[in-house]
Structure 1
Amino acid sequence: MIAFPNAKINLGLHITSKRSDGFHEIETCMVPVPLFDALEMILAKKTSFSSTGFPIPGATKDNLILKALSLLRRDFTGLPHLEIHLHKSIPMGAGLGGGSADAGFALKLMNNLFDLHLEDWFLEDYAAQLGSDCPFFVENTPKIAKGRGEILEPIQVDLKGNHLILINPQIHISTQDAYAGVKPKLATVDIREVISDKTKWKEQLVNDFEASIFPKYPTIAKIKQDLYDLGAYYAAMSGSGATVFGLFEKKPTQQDWPTSFFVFEGGL
């Protein structure tokens, strides 16, 4: 059985407070976009995991897909072994939710393979134990995310027919470093209200991480400006970076990006 976990972008991202557990309260709008990994699982005599494409940092035992399997085995005894292969096309640590998407889609695949018949809310509960963004990928539709990112509310976001450009300059920004530069504060705008009117996005839809990351990494700030110069009606860093995306009403003219950059273009 195969699935294609997709990336996400953040339309606005406010860090509103720091919690007593060390996490931060956020408010953002997450939207799925058509950049995909490929995840295959088959029943096997022994559980194994392999990957191709972008390298996955860390020990295999810490991979979120295997942690998802362990979570299910904790509550459902006698689950079969799986042979798992993941092809990574979404860059890791790029603000695109690639690892979280793999975990969320893994839970959905296992739910089907094992005939568990778990409803989405149940899968979202498991996903929240794996990571803050993981629950988003269960339903995989535009959502306002609050709390650590696990409190989800549906929102209508119509990007159909738009053109998307994602640019990652291959700069790694750890989540810890990104949050270290942020001073939490309450949002000055209602993100839901702003998203309802695209004419407000450029001026009012803000990613709070940009204020500290752009001075430290001017290449990332330049990419955002380049996307606006190319005709984007909205451009921003996604998540904690370093990927910057641009949204266009129509496909722009060809742009020569540095060969060291990861570049994705596609229709929405």
Structure 2
Amino acid sequence: MILFPNCKINLGLHVTNKRPDGFHDLETVFYPLPVNDALEAITHSELQFESSGIPVPGNAADNLCLKAFHLLKQDFPQLPALHIHLHKHIPIGAGLGGGSADAAFMLRLIDQKFQLGLTEAALLVYAAQLGSDCPFFIINKPCFATGRGEIIEPLTLDLSGYSFMLVHPGIHVNTGWAFKQLTPKAPAYALKEIIGQPVTTWKDVLVNDFEEAVFAAHPAIGKIKEQLYAAGAVYSAMSGSGSAVLGIFPKNKIADILWDASYRVFTIR
């Protein structure tokens, strides 16, 4: 069986509180976009994991896809071993949620392949054990997220009348470092109210709290945002803690932009 985990973008991102457990409370809107990995699993004599495409850092045994398998195996010991192949296309460490998507889609794949009959609520519980962003990819529709990102509320938000450009400059922004640069505070504007307004009104009020510090440390990322606006984007922002930057354009009106040859650029028309 093969599934195609997709990425997400953040529309607005506020860090509102430092929690006693060391994590931060935040609020954001997750929106799915069709930039995809490919995740395939077949029954095998022993559990194996391999990847292709963008190199996946770290020990393969620690991959979230394997962690998803082991998590379900605890409650469903009858699950057979799998040969898992992940083709990585979503940039890593870009604020696009690729690793979280892979983990959530692994849960969905196993549920479907072996007809476990898991409800969405059950899948959300499993996903939350794998990572803060993972529950979003179970629902995989526009959502307002709070807590660490795991408390999600579906939203009516349809941006199909726009085109998107995602630009990843290949710069690694350490998430822990990024959080340390912020002083948590209540947002100046109510995020859900802003999202309900026309996209053309978002520019000065729908903000990502990480941008100021990240742009100061990595001016090239801020420059991407400037270039997207100069090319006609109606809204642009960094996704997550970076380093990918999104631009929302009028439908089919994405201008040709001469990017650095090392950048990875995705257009969704």
- TM bucket, shorter chain: over 0.9
SS at match of 1:27: strand
The Cα offsets for residues 135-154 of structure 1, whole Å up to 9 and x where unpaired, read as 00001000001000000001
Equivalence for 2:233: 232
String of CA shifts for 1:65-123, please: whole Å, max 9, x gaps: 00001111111112111110000000111000000000011100011112110011110
In the other structure, the counterpart of 1:77 is 77
Is 1:27 the counterpart of 2:27? The answer is yes
* Residue matched to 1:191: 191
Partner of 1:171: 171
Is 2:202 aligned against 1:201? yes
212-221 or 247-256, larger mean C-alpha shift? 247-256
- Separation (CA, whole Å) in 1 of partners of 2:149 and 2:254: 33
Q: CA deviation at 1:158?
A: 1.3
Q: Which amino acid aligns with 1:207?
A: N
Which residue of the partner structure matches residue 16 of structure 2? 16
Match of 1:101 in 2: 101
Q: CA RMSD in A?
A: 0.8
Name the structure 2 match of 1:122: 122
> 1:238, CA displacement in angstroms?
0.1
Q: Secondary structure at the match of 1:173?
A: coil
Q: What amino acid is aligned across from residue 252 of structure 1 in structure 2?
A: I
C-alpha distance in structure 1 between counterparts of 2:200 and 2:54, whole Å = 36
Structure 1 CA distance for aligned equivalents of residues 224 and 207 of structure 2: 16
| In 2: Cα distance, 1:265 partner to 1:77 partner | 42
Say yes or no: does 1:248 pair with 2:249: yes
Maintained 8 Å contact 2:234/2:250: yes
Give the Cα–Cα distance (whole angstroms) in 2 for the partners of residues 212 and 255 of structure 1. Answer: 26
How far 1:199 moved relative to its partner? 3.2
Alignment of 1:150-165 (within 5 A): 150-165=150-165
Matched residue count: 267
The 2-side partners of 1:50 and 1:60 are apart by: 8
TM-score (structure 1 length as normaliser): 0.98
Q: Is the 8 A contact 2:54 2:91 kept in 1?
A: yes
Separation (CA, whole Å) in 1 of partners of 2:263 and 2:55 = 16
- Sequence identity, in percent? 53
Q: Report if aligned partners of 2:173, 2:242 keep a CA contact under 8 Å in 1.
A: yes
How far apart are 1:252 and its partner, in Å?
A: 2.2
Query: Could you tell me how far 1:174 is from its partner in structure 2?
Result: 1.4
Most deviating of 45-54 and 244-253: 244-253
State the secondary structure of the residue aligned to 1:26.
strand
CA distance in 2, matches of 1:140, 1:96: 13
For residues 56 and 180 of structure 1, the distance between their equivalents in structure 2, rounded to whole angstroms, comes to 26
Look up the match of 1:222: 223
Alpha-carbon distance in structure 2 between the residues aligned to 1:258 and 1:83: 38
What is the aligned partner in structure 1 of residue 211 from structure 2?
A: 210
Which secondary structure state, in structure 2, belongs to the residue aligned with residue 141 of structure 1? Answer: coil
Residue 135 of structure 1 pairs with residue 135 of structure 2: yes
TM-score (norm 2): 0.98
- 1:253 and 1:97 map into 2 onto residues whose CA distance is 26
Runs of 4+ residues over 4 Å off in structure 1: none
- How far has the Cα of 1:188 moved from its partner? 1.5
Structure 1 residue 200 displacement after superposition? 2.6
1:266 and 2:268 correspond? yes
Tell whether the 8 Å contact from 2:232 to 2:255 is kept in structure 1 after alignment: no
- Give the 3-state SS of the residue equivalent to 1:70 in structure 2: helix
SS of aligned partner of 1:10: strand
CA distance, structure 1, for counterparts of residue 216 and residue 125 of structure 2: 38
